[in-house]
Amino acid sequence: MSVPTRSVALVTLGCTRNDVDSEELAGRLSAEGWTLVDDAAEADVAVVNTCGFIEQAKKDSIDAILEANDLREHGRTQKVVAVGCLAERYGKELADELPEADAVLGFDSYADMSSHLRAVLDGHAPEAHTPGDRRRLLPISPVERDASELSVPGHGAGDLPRARLDDKPWAPLKIASGCDRRCAFCAIPAFRGAFVSRRPSDVVAEGRWLATQGVRELFLVSENSTSYGKDLGDLDLLEQVLPELTTIEGIERVRVSYLQPAEIRPGLLRAMASTEGVVPWYDISFQHASGPLLRRMRRFGDTDSFLGLIEGIRERQPEAGIRSNVIVGFPGETEEDVAELERFLVGARLDVVGVFGYSDEDGTEGELLTDKIDPDVIATRVDRLTRLVEELTAQRAEERIGQVVEVLVEDVDEESGEVSGRAAHQGPDVDGVTLLTGALEGVEIGAFVAAEVVGTEGIDLVAEVLA
């Protein structure tokens, strides 16, 4: 007698690193006989892959769990399981406060997710874990790393299945997980753990597989790509892996995310600029520009060193897209610090800047600082910086009018006829898009189209397809 298949839906919140984890969980579950469905209402189990990054992300994750819980009344859904960063970070505490979730499972459960879900369906929910500080895994020398069982959350060693949960022509490809830095505002290292690189052979193998699935652009993700290889005893490993990825048949673009300014090496910048297929796109996590404030944040650099870095990139690649995030309202931030950040932003002419207001994160050094900034002052500074950034990034987009861009088509709206995609300097999801005009017949998702920029809408470009 055949065992009836059980169905599962993955609801993913947060960043592209979570997207990869969901696709890998989907691959494992599918290999174990689960039927994957898109709609949580059609699934026996809804697995909500949560984000635990900032307050709003936590709230969105909890809302998604509550929504999945509501499906029990109307849909097929019998069980709701929380995984991901929020689950890892709060474990038992989350389980106690959120009885709507039948189970709360941390990263260590990923390797055996199928049996956990079967147990949950059979009414035997595994105990939620008590979160520990995953930084205790430090330090990992290359020798220890070789002998250790450590794996990247969502990725074990070797050849693991991954199932695609969308049909976009780009896909995130995780190269590492965790972070060894100690930024005072950030809780990521405490729950993502020490920095662990995936082996180049695994990364390249997954890149090849993604190419067979129609992916044209690989988006390399991690918490800190500049550290790639250090735990494998080779700090130049990213420079060596990039040419291997760009020569995979079907892959036209490789995009490297999250560069840590303190760790950017001239050799890496040279390799990124000179490896054909690596897009001229630099995602540099500046966070602030005032030297004294950066030191309080436990970070390096200042306005002048950052401007020098940007100048070096633009000398080689004037068309490069450069994006960053900044935090305002960190404890002790003065008006002078804010003015210094403005000086940097005006000088840097970045393509995209995310402005975030500081909020205390559990278990961080920032939480313990006493000279907190009033929330109203933080909101005012966020507003002020956001307005400045909107003006500067719109100007930067306008500077591209007249340039020819290569657009990866990502969206073709049959009804409106609108076709859009991303130029090389535009990263996925948050960097704006390029709206194509002109001869659009036969243009399909996944195609590369050359177009001349004829206008802008904020950071979005409008470009006319070239004959």
Residue 308 marked in a binding site: no
The three-state secondary structure class of 339 is helix
Residue 204 marked in a binding site: no
Residue 152 marked in a binding site: no
CB atoms within 10 A of CB 93: 13
- Whether the bond between 189 and the residue before it is cis, its omega within 30 degrees of 0, is no
Residue 118 marked in a binding site: no
Smallest separation (angstroms) from ligand SF4 to the CB of 323? 15
Smallest separation (angstroms) from ligand SF4 to the CB of 195? 8
The H or E element that residue 50 is part of is: strand 45-50
DSSP 407-457: EEEEEE-TTT--EEEE-TT--TTTS--EEEES--TT--TT-EEEEEEEEEE
Phi-psi region of 234 (alpha: psi -120 to 50; beta: other; left: phi over 0): beta
Smallest separation (angstroms) from ligand SF4 to the CB of 330? 12
The residue behind tokens 């300097």 is 425
Residue 47 marked in a binding site: no
Nearer to ligand SF4 among residue 181 and residue 253 (C-beta): 181
φ, ψ of residue 58 in degrees (nearest 5): -65, -40
Which stretches of 237-367 are assigned E, i.e. beta strand? 253-256, 281-283, 321-328, 352-357
Beta bridge partners of 465: 451
Whole-angstrom distance, CA of residue 343 vs CA of residue 273 = 27
Nearer to ligand SF4 among residue 98 and residue 179 (C-beta): 179
Whole-angstrom distance, CA of residue 13 vs CA of residue 263 = 29
Smallest separation (angstroms) from ligand SF4 to the CB of 185? 7
Smallest separation (angstroms) from ligand SF4 to the CB of 14? 14
Nearer to ligand SF4 among residue 29 and residue 194 (C-beta): 194
Nearer to ligand SF4 among residue 8 and residue 184 (C-beta): 184
Nearer to ligand SF4 among residue 188 and residue 320 (C-beta): 188
Smallest separation (angstroms) from ligand SF4 to the CB of 437? 39
Neighbouring residues of 70: CB distance < 8 A, sequence distance ≥ 6? none
Smallest separation (angstroms) from ligand SF4 to the CB of 455? 36
Smallest separation (angstroms) from ligand SF4 to the CB of 59? 20
Whole-angstrom distance, CA of residue 422 vs CA of residue 427 = 7
Nearer to ligand SF4 among residue 223 and residue 252 (C-beta): 223
Nearer to ligand SF4 among residue 178 and residue 421 (C-beta): 178
Whole-angstrom distance, CA of residue 451 vs CA of residue 400 = 12
Q: Give the binding site for ligand SF4 (CB under 6 A).
A: 179, 181, 183, 186, 188-189, 223-224, 260, 285
The H or E element that residue 88 is part of is: helix 84-97
The residue behind tokens 């000086």 is 343
Nearer to ligand SF4 among residue 77 and residue 257 (C-beta): 257
Phi-psi region of 461 (alpha: psi -120 to 50; beta: other; left: phi over 0): beta
Residue 183 marked in a binding site: yes
Smallest separation (angstroms) from ligand SF4 to the CB of 189? 5
CB atoms within 10 A of CB 324: 24
The residue behind tokens 């005893």 is 233
Nearer to ligand SF4 among residue 216 and residue 299 (C-beta): 299
Smallest separation (angstroms) from ligand SF4 to the CB of 179? 3
Nearer to ligand SF4 among residue 128 and residue 140 (C-beta): 140
Which stretches of 106-235 are assigned E, i.e. beta strand? 170-174, 176-177, 196-197, 217-221
Binding site, annotated residues for [4Fe-4S] cluster: 15, 51, 85, 179, 183, 186
User: Binding site: residue ranges?
Assistant: 15, 51, 85, 179, 183, 186
